[in-house]
Amino acid sequence: MTKRNMIIYWISTLWLALGMLSTGIVQLLKMEGEVEFILKLGYPGYFLTILGVWKLLGVVAVLIPKNPLIKEWAYAGFFFAMSGAALSHIAMGNPIKEILPSLLLLTLTVVSWYFRPASRRFNSTNQ
């Protein structure tokens, strides 16, 4: 892996982790604005707990060394959560300022996944 790719990987991964960690904490704390937001999108309030827990576990999985299969699952979860969030906002006709955060985290997920080093990739030999 080139130095450039390693820098891209770590910058995108650290920003992704920070974004998922902060939004996961906000969701677990069920802050008033977040509860209103999720209800406005048509989801039940308990969905915040599910999202928050899975985001925090995903951050741990993406950052720790080893366990490439778990990392793949975490990246997939981040992808589905953020694409689902963006599509939910679009379906509700929300303004772009409400769609952009999920699109940013979706982009960081894809960039981090794409540039991850070989040691963090899943293949049949490193199960």
Helix/strand/coil (H, E, C) string of the chain?
CCHHHHHHHHHHHHHHHHHHHHHHHHHHHCCHHHHHHHHHCCCCCCHHHHHHHHHHHHHHHHHCCCCHHHHHHHHHHHHHHHHHHHHHHHHCCCCHHHHHHHHHHHHHHHHHHHHCCHHHCCCCCCC
List the pLDDT tens digit at each of the 127 positions of the chain: 899 999 999 999 999 999 999 999 999 999 998 999 899 888 999 999 999 999 999 999 999 988 999 999 999 999 999 999 999 999 999 999 999 999 999 999 999 999 999 888 888 565 5
